[in-house]
């Protein structure tokens, strides 16, 4: 099965290995995907997903509505990459998104480095605020805040590394952009 790439360092983005964008239809399906990405490789209970997606405004048949959204997500992934529907697994008591190809994993890896190039590469992965198109949802808030703090820490470490190399002009430019 060919992998699908997921991006959360900005608006939610899904692409094929070839770089083709994958259309994930509907606000609720995108929110479901975001919830599964926040909890990637972990089972998220159906009750929690229902609460995260609808809150107090639950549909008449919440379990059925969730199953419809899961089916729509699986179809979107499979239409883009045959076999990708298998990334979304039904596991008691809910669902799991089995995935490694998330931009945040690469960011975490690069952010642990100390050299200027890798730190700059880590920051280059960002396309905006983490989970930007679902950032007001409670279920992403803690993860988005953690990533924002980690991003600032990488900016600080990059500035320190550049200052140590005598690259004062680059540090001033980076910090001016960050402040703006």
Q: What's the whole-model pTM score?
A: 0.92
Task: Write down the pLDDT at residue 4.
Answer: 94
Q: What are phi and psi of 50, to 5 degrees?
A: -60, -45
**Average of per-residue pLDDT across 50-65:** 96
Same structural domain, 122 and 68: no
Boundary-marking domain end, from 37, 71, 97: 97
- Please give the tally of structural domains in the chain: 2
Same structural domain, 33 and 69: yes
Same structural domain, 86 and 112: no
Percent of the chain at pLDDT > 70 equals 99
Same structural domain, 10 and 89: yes
Same structural domain, 89 and 52: yes
Nearest CA to 94 among 34, 161, 42?
42
Same structural domain, 91 and 136: no
pLDDT-based confidence at residue 168 (cuts at 50, 70, 90): confident
Boundary-marking domain end, from 76, 97, 118: 97
Task: Write down the pLDDT at residue 3.
Answer: 80
Same structural domain, 91 and 23: yes
Q: How far apart are CA 50 and CA 57, in angstroms?
A: 10
Q: Name every residue whose Cβ is closer than 8 Å to that of residue 167 and which is 6 or more positions away in sequence.
A: 116
**Residue-range definition of the domain harbouring residue 121:** 103-179
Query: What is the overall mean pLDDT for the chain?
Result: 94
Same structural domain, 45 and 126: no
Same structural domain, 78 and 56: yes
Q: How far apart are CA 22 and CA 13, in angstroms?
A: 8
Same structural domain, 9 and 90: yes
Same structural domain, 93 and 113: no
Predicted confidence (pLDDT) at residue 126 exceeds the cutoff of 50: yes
pLDDT-based confidence at residue 1 (cuts at 50, 70, 90): very low
Boundary-marking domain end, from 78, 97, 116: 97
Predicted confidence (pLDDT) at residue 89 exceeds the cutoff of 50: yes
CATH number of the domain where residue 13 is located: 1.10.10.10
Burial of 125 (0-12, 13-18, 19+ CB in 10 A): middle
Task: Write down the pLDDT at residue 169.
Answer: 87
CA torsion 15-21-22-24 (nearest 10°) is 110
């Amino acid at each position: 099965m060919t992998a699908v790439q997921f991006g959360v360092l900005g608006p939610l983005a899904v692409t094929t290995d070839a770089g083709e964008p994958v259309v994930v239809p509907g606000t609720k399906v995108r929110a479901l995907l975001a919830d599964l990405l926040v909890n990637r490789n972990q089972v998220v209970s159906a009750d929690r997903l229902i609460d995260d997606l609808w809150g107090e405004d639950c549909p008449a048949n919440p379990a059925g509505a969730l199953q419809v959204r899961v089916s729509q997500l699986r179809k979107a992934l499979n239409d883009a990459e045959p076999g990708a529907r298998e990334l979304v697994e039904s596991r008691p008591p809910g669902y799991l998104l089995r995935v490694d190809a998330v931009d945040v994993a690469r960011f975490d890896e690069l952010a642990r480095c100390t050299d200027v190039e890798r730190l700059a590469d880590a920051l280059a992965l960002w396309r905006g605020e983490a989970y930007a198109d679902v950032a007001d949802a409670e279920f992403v808030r803690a993860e988005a805040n953690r990533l924002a703090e980690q991003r600032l820490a990488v900016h600080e470490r990059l500035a320190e590394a550049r200052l140590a190399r005598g690259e004062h002009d680059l540090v001033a430019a980076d910090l001016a952009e960050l402040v703006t």
